Structure 1
Amino acid sequence: MTMTHFKPRLIVFDLDGTLVDSSPDIAIAINQMLSELNQATYSEQEIKQWLGFGATKLINCALTGELEPKIEPANLRQAMRLYFNFYSANICVNSQLYAGAKEGLEQLKLAGIKLACVTNKPALLTLPLLTEIGIKDYFQFIASGDTFQRMKPDPLPLLEAAKAIAVDPEQALMVGDSINDIQAGKNAGFKTAIVPYGYIGKYSIDELGADYQINTIEHLAKLVC
C-alpha cells in the first residue's frame, strides 16, 4: 500500500531499532552486568532479539537466557542497578543513527509535520541518548517506557502524544521496527509503518501487518512531504 492518499499531521517514532542502532552499547552493558553477576554472556545478535520490550524484560531475558522468561530471577533488582550504571555511563559510544534518519527528520520538520518519539526505554536512558546522538530537538513530545502507567503495545503513550499535539489518531502515523510498535499503532487508531532493519524479533515484516513498509526515514519523508 502506498501513502498517496495519506498525509499524516503527526508522526510518532520508536527509538531503538528505528532511529538509532543502539544494540552495540546495550549488548556491552548487558554483558558487563552478567559478568559482574558471574553469569554467562551473550552475543550482540542474541541480545538483539530481547530488545523492544523495556528494560525489565530485557534484563529478565539476559538473566534466564529465555525469550519468554517464566519466573522473575531473584537477582533482578541487583542486575537492573548494574545494567543502568553500566549503560548510563556509555550510552552513546558505539550507537549510531540509521542511514537517512536525521535527514528524514529534518525534512519532515521543515514540512511542518509534528514529530514525537515514543519508546519503551526508561526515561533516564531515553533523554541522554536522544541528546547525545543529536535528535532530541526534533520532537514536540517524548514518552519513555516509564512515562505512563502502560507502555507499547498499549495505545496509551501514542494517544497521549496525539492529545498533547492536538491531532486526531486517524491523522497520525506510528513508525517502528517491532510487534510492539505496530500493535500500539493499530490499538491507538494510527496508521502504521515498518522499517526493514532494526530489532524485529521472531516475526517477519509481513507477519507484523503494518499499513506501510518504508526503506528509511528519509524515504518516508519523500512519501509524505
Structure 2
Amino acid sequence: MKFRTVLFDFDGTLANTLPLTIYGMQEAFQKFDGRLFDKEGIVMMFGPTEDGMIAKNFRHRENIQEAIDFYYQFYENRHHDYVEDNADILKLLRELKEYDVKIGVITGKSRRAYLLSEKALGFEGLFESVITGDDVSRPKPDPEGIIKTLKKFGAAPESSIYIGDSNNDILAGKAAGIQTAAVQWLPVSQSNSFPAKPDYYWTKVHEFMDWLKAEKAL
C-alpha cells in the first residue's frame, strides 16, 4: 500500500509553538484582564482558537479585541525567541512533495496564528491544504477537519494517514477512517500516552520517511 496523502497536526507535530502561545496568553490576560495564570491555567483553556480562548475567558469584556490584537503582535514579535526552526521537519515535508504526496495540515490554531508561524518557519507553499480552528465547527477529536481535507484532495482513506502528537489526533484520524501515527519527535508533546492505539508511533522525524521507503509505501 502506498500513501498518497499525509496529513499533519501542527503544534507538537510540525512545530513547538505551545510555549509561545502560553506565554503570550499569560501576558494578554495580565495586561488586559488583570489576572495571572500559570502554565496549567492557560492549558486548561485550550480547545477554541486563540481568539476564542480570550473571548471565552476574559472578565473585562470591553478589552477583548485589544487583548487579541496584543496577543498576535506578541506572537509575531517573539516567535523566533520561543520557536526553533527544525531542519528535519522541513526536509521531511520537501521530500514528501518530491514523491508527489499530497500534504496538508489540520490544526486547532487560528488561521491568523498559523500564517504567522508558517512564514516564520519557512513552511510557505509546502501544504496544499490548511484547515485551522477557524474553518471547522467541531474541533478534534471530531474528524471534521480531516474529512474536509480528504474530500478536497479526492483522497482514498486507505492511502491516507494523519500524524499527530495528541490522543485527540489519533481519535480524529480513526473517526475519519484513515491510518494514524502518534509522534513524540519534538521536545514537547500534548499527550504522554495514546490509549486510542495509533497504527504507528515514531520518536524521530527520520523514522517516518525511513519506514515509508522500507515498506515501499511511496
Alignment TM class, shorter chain as reference: 0.7 to 0.9
Matching of residue 28 in structure 1 with residue 23 in structure 2: yes
Structure 1 segment 145-224 matched on structure 2, within 5 A: 145-196=133-184, 197=186, 198-201=188-191, 204-224=192-212
Q: Is the 8 A contact 2:24 2:74 kept in 1?
A: no
Return the offset for 1:57.
Answer: 9.6
User: Percent of aligned positions with the same letter in both sequences?
Assistant: 23
Task: Report the counterpart of residue 17 of structure 1 in structure 2.
Answer: 12
The aligned counterpart of 1:85 is: 70
* AA aligned opposite 1:53: G
Inter-CA distance 89–34: structure 2 relative to 1 (3 Å threshold): closer
The structural deviation recorded for 1:78 is 4.0
**Mind listing any 5+ residue stretches in structure 1 that lack a counterpart?**
1-5, 64-70
C-alpha spacing 1:28/1:122, structure 2 compared with 1 (3 Å)? same
Q: Deviations over 1:77-107 (max 9, x none)?
A: 8457514532344332321245621111111
Residue 41 (structure 1) aligned to one of 37, 43, 66? 37
Deviation at 1:224, TM superposition (A): 1.4
Q: How far apart in 1 are the matches of 2:164 and 2:200?
A: 11
Post-superposition offset of 1:178: 0.9
SS at match of 1:146: helix
Instruction: Report how many aligned residue pairs link the two structures.
Output: 207
Whether 2:103 is the aligned partner of 1:115: answer: yes
SS at match of 1:154: coil
Long gaps (5+) in structure 2: 214-218
Alignment RMSD, CA only? 2.8
